[in-house]
Amino acid sequence: MNIERDEMARYIVEKPMAYDTHSVVVNTVFDKVKGHPRPIMKQGFVGRCRYTFTRDAPDSMRNGIVALARFAEYSGVGSAVARGCGAAKVTVGVTK
């Protein structure tokens, strides 16, 4: 299945519910100029977001997006997954 970004945007409504940003030390390097170790920080966040489909979203689109969301639980998301970041928890439900 080929899912285009514009097509996804047409059928999905994103609603951020709550989030909190924070900085995390991901590594430490020795600064030769200052003569001491310094941390390398990455900005991150923890939050909740609700995605809903429009009423006219095709079943194939719904199935593809839900499959990708479920895969995110297994694979993680973002650039620092190998460092333990990027965890995702997906709850699939039906709204009226």
Give the mean pLDDT per block of 10 residues along the chain (96 residues). Answer: 79 86 81 87 82 91 89 86 82 79
Q: What is the pLDDT of residue 96?
A: 66
pLDDT for 1: 65
Give pLDDT, residue 53: 92
Cα angle: 86, vertex 48, 3; to 5 degrees:
70
The pLDDT of residue 84 is 76
Q: What angle do CA 21, 24, 30 make, to 5 degrees?
A: 150
Q: Within a 13 Å sphere around the CA of 51, how many CA atoms are in the beta-carbon half? A: 14
**Domain edges within the chain:** 5-83
